[in-house]
Amino acid sequence: MSETARILLAEDDRALRQSIAAALRGGSFTVEAVSDGVQAAQRLREEPYDVVLLDIGLPFVDGWEILQQIEGRRQPSVIVISARGEERDKVRALDLGADDYLTKPFGADELLARLRAVLRRVRSTGDAGVARAGEVVVDLTNRSVTRAGAEVRLSPTEWVLLAELASHPGMTRDHRTLLGRVWGPAYIGDRNYLRTFIQRLRRKLEDDPANPGVIVTVGHQGYRFGSSPLARDR
Ligand code: CA
């Protein structure tokens, strides 16, 4: 995998910003660093980045607001870096479209590993084919999703999860497999990620998210795209 990915780093702590930027450059990433939310929002409007490393506690415009501005865009992926280690902050960040959440303090190795994992999953879903469930059509080749003919906008991780389900239509994908394939082996016990993203996808894809027909819950095992294998060609 090429590691020429462009990273925007938004962190107001000068020492931390410099050390993270140095670690990223050492990992052969192209890095641009900003120190407040106004600059971050402006850069995000002007430039295409692969990943944003986003501090939540930023001056002027905080990370929550930046997340809301990015939500629904296919790029960039977002890794939140925050001193808040509480589960509800993590869930809130994921719910607002973050792809991952890293609690400070963290080491350079862990940061680089998370970054590579995010890039890998965004870049690895190139399987051919089209899968359908009801009015939802997932085009795995062109990486697009429509619902009743209208394009549905997904975040990078929403797309990877949906593609993982839709590339095996009608088949149950268990929790651990989905967590491992979408987020990585370190996440196979972290059901919050999966639950949150399934809810987000259902809000975008289902007529009645409480009674889903596109992403179906299969007992306590996992999830399935569509009702049966035959749904694919209907
Ligand atoms: Ca901060």
Instruction: Tell me, yes or no, whether 25 and 86 share the same domain.
Output: yes
Checking DSSP bridges between strand 51-55 and strand 100-103, what pairing results, if any?
Answer: unpaired
Label residue 213 exposed, middle or buried (CB < 10 Å: 0-12, 13-18, 19+): middle
Given pLDDT bands bounded at 50, 70 and 90, which one contains residue 4? confident
pLDDT at 125: 53
- Whether pLDDT at 200 is above 60: yes
| Whether the model pTM is above 0.85 | no
Taking only the tens place, the pLDDT of each residue in 89-110 is 988 998 888 989 999 999 999 9
Instruction: Tell me, yes or no, whether 145 and 160 share the same domain.
Output: yes
Residue 1 maps to a domain? no
Taking only the tens place, the pLDDT of each residue in 65-74 is 999 988 767 6
pLDDT at 51: 94
Task: Give the distance (Å) from ligand 1 centre to CA of residue 136.
Answer: 40
Taking only the tens place, the pLDDT of each residue in 153-172 is 999 899 999 999 998 888 88
Q: Domain with 66 in it: what CATH number?
A: 3.40.50.2300
Tokens read off for 132: 């359908």
Task: Give the CA distances from residue 113 to residues 3, 53, 107, 184, 212, in Å, rounded to whole numbers and listed in that order.
Answer: 12, 13, 10, 10, 34
Task: Give the distance (Å) from ligand 1 centre to CA of residue 57.
Answer: 4
Task: Give the distance (Å) from ligand 1 centre to CA of residue 21.
Answer: 15
Task: Give the distance (Å) from ligand 1 centre to CA of residue 180.
Answer: 30
Q: What is the dihedral of CA 193, 88, 35, 46, to 10 degrees?
A: 50
Task: Give the distance (Å) from ligand 1 centre to CA of residue 39.
Answer: 14
Longest CA–CA span in the chain (Å) reads 57
Task: Give the distance (Å) from ligand 1 centre to CA of residue 66.
Answer: 13
Residue 94 maps to a domain? yes
Looking at per-residue pLDDT, the higher value among 86 and 65 belongs to 65
CA-closest candidate to residue 17, choices 25, 69, 86, 116: 25
